[in-house]
Amino acid sequence: MKTLKKKLPCLNWIPEYDLSCLVGDSIAGLTVSLLIIPQALAYGLVAGLPPNYGLYSAFVGGIIYFFFGSTNELNIGPTAIMSLMTYQYTSHGGADYAVLLCFLTGVIELIAAIVNLGKVEAGIPSPELPPFSITINNQTMSFEETIKDIGLGVIMVPLIGILNDVAVVSSFSKGNGFDITQEITVLGLINIIGSFFRSMPTTACFSRTAVNATSGVRTPAAGLLTGISVLIALAVLTPFFRYIPKASLAAVIICAVLQMIDYGIVKPLWKTKKLELLHLIVTFVACLFIGLEWGILLGITVNLVCMLFKLATPTVSVDHANFPQSNYPFVLVTPSNGMLYPSSMHIRTVILKAGMKEGNGILPVVVDCSHIVDFDYTSLKGLIGMMDSFKKSEQPLIFLNMKPTIISRVKLIKDEITSYDSLEQVENKL
């Protein structure tokens, strides 16, 4: 029963549902529905689709989240970023591309959860299978050809959806924690089921979630009411939506997107970490000129390269010191972090140079391993090679405060390593 309640969170709050919850959820659900309907129409146009596709994408999220959702405030539906990413495919592939991309996004998100990363058509869409073959200009493309044409979007759209969903949920979790796997599972289900109703890819929306929270939402039942309101709008009000000026819908998008731009982050980044500001600028410029997917991918790549560079070149302090009793000089080398593959060559080079330059090839070199918590095989080979180099030059190389687990692993390959717990022990040995 505990597992069932974890997978179906609605079982936790439905038995305790009362009139006060109904009032709060009704106010929040109706308030959000007044926001999501014009937003959905606008985001449908942004995605290069008829505006009714935005409404198709707006009602499924609340209904599915009613059963599987664990965050009261969350609203899942069409968003600016997902609409822009979808447009890159609908601009040449039409609505079928958006629906298939929605289905594939849901599948990828479910897999990620399992492995634990203006004409308006009236009426509600009848459920139908996602288009696994697509016809463009009287030419039918197979499922494999369509996937090849979508290319990077098959990975990037689900990735952005997951990251956005987790970011919004974490902002409104109120410090209570949340089940990331469950949230990704729900998001995947919403996109898969939504694709049967001609939905485009969806994810959590920060602005609507904020409105939900400030309107006094009590449970995910508010999302159910929002979904039903959108269904009623699809069935009854769509003939009137055709008369909404596109300029009005554009204003809706501008108001929603302006809140997403964090201007205030630039100054703190400039003062504290200019390199991170470079990541921001590179990603922004790349998204602007070469497309969202490639821009985001380039931003991630630049960030990874900078992280790897930092990991490969850790700070290694080299100091002259003296033994406490004899006052005999030695060279103290202290690496700042673990000695793994990316950093092993750098640390080895610094130690060898310290022995030759600071120790003149004579003074003992003491390596303080206090901050080294792990080794990999490449680092072990480098360590053994360094020990052999010092042995050939007859210069003492001593290890201080090395973890017992690391010593035992090194001894499996080379039994000559010894580590000491204090400088007094080193001095007595020498």
DSSP 56-79: HHHHHHHHHHHHH---TT--EE--
- Given 239, 261, 283, which residue is the final one in a domain? 261
Read off the CATH number of the domain in which 354 is found. 3.30.750.24
* Structural domain range at position 298: 265-311
What residues contact residue 308 under an 8 Å CB cut-off, 6+ apart?
342
Per-residue pLDDT of the chain in tens (430 residues, 90 and over written 9): 677 877 888 888 888 888 888 899 999 999 999 889 888 888 988 888 888 888 889 989 889 999 988 888 899 999 888 888 888 888 777 888 888 889 999 999 898 888 775 444 445 555 554 554 455 555 555 667 667 777 777 888 888 888 888 888 888 876 566 778 888 899 999 999 998 988 999 999 888 888 888 888 889 999 999 999 999 888 887 777 777 777 777 887 777 777 667 778 888 888 888 888 888 888 889 888 887 778 888 888 888 888 888 888 888 888 888 887 778 888 888 888 767 777 888 888 888 888 888 878 888 888 888 888 777 788 888 888 888 888 888 888 888 888 888 778 777 777 777 778 887 877 777 6
The whole-number pLDDT of residue 119 equals 47
What residues contact residue 36 under an 8 Å CB cut-off, 6+ apart?
58, 75, 77, 205, 208, 226, 230
Q: Are residues 325 and 235 in the same domain?
A: no
Q: Are residues 297 and 214 in the same domain?
A: no
- Cα distance between residue 312 and residue 229, in whole Å: 55
Do 407 and 421 meet the contact criterion of CB atoms below 8 Å apart? no
Q: Are residues 68 and 148 in the same domain?
A: yes
Question: For the chain, how many structural domains are there in total?
Answer: 3
Q: How far is CA 177 from the centre of its chain?
A: 17
Nearest Cα residue to 319 out of 371, 365, 386:
365
Do 316 and 346 meet the contact criterion of CB atoms below 8 Å apart? yes
Q: Are residues 329 and 421 in the same domain?
A: yes
- Given 274, 289, 311, which residue is the final one in a domain? 311
Q: Are residues 154 and 207 in the same domain?
A: yes
Q: Are residues 289 and 387 in the same domain?
A: no
pTM: 0.70
Q: Are residues 251 and 368 in the same domain?
A: no
What residues contact residue 357 under an 8 Å CB cut-off, 6+ apart?
none
Q: Are residues 47 and 138 in the same domain?
A: yes
Any idea which residue has 């009261």 for tokens? 72
Q: Are residues 299 and 320 in the same domain?
A: no
Nearest Cα residue to 221 out of 18, 77, 2:
18
**Residue 141 forms beta bridges with which residues?**
134
Q: Are residues 65 and 200 in the same domain?
A: yes
Q: Are residues 291 and 344 in the same domain?
A: no
Instruction: Spell out a b/e string for 338-371, using b for 16 or more CB atoms within 10 Å of the CB, else e.
Output: bbbebbbebbbebbbebbeebbeeebbbbbbbee
Nearest Cα residue to 304 out of 292, 294, 312:
312
Output Rg (C-alpha) for the chain, integer angstroms.
30
Q: Are residues 55 and 138 in the same domain?
A: yes
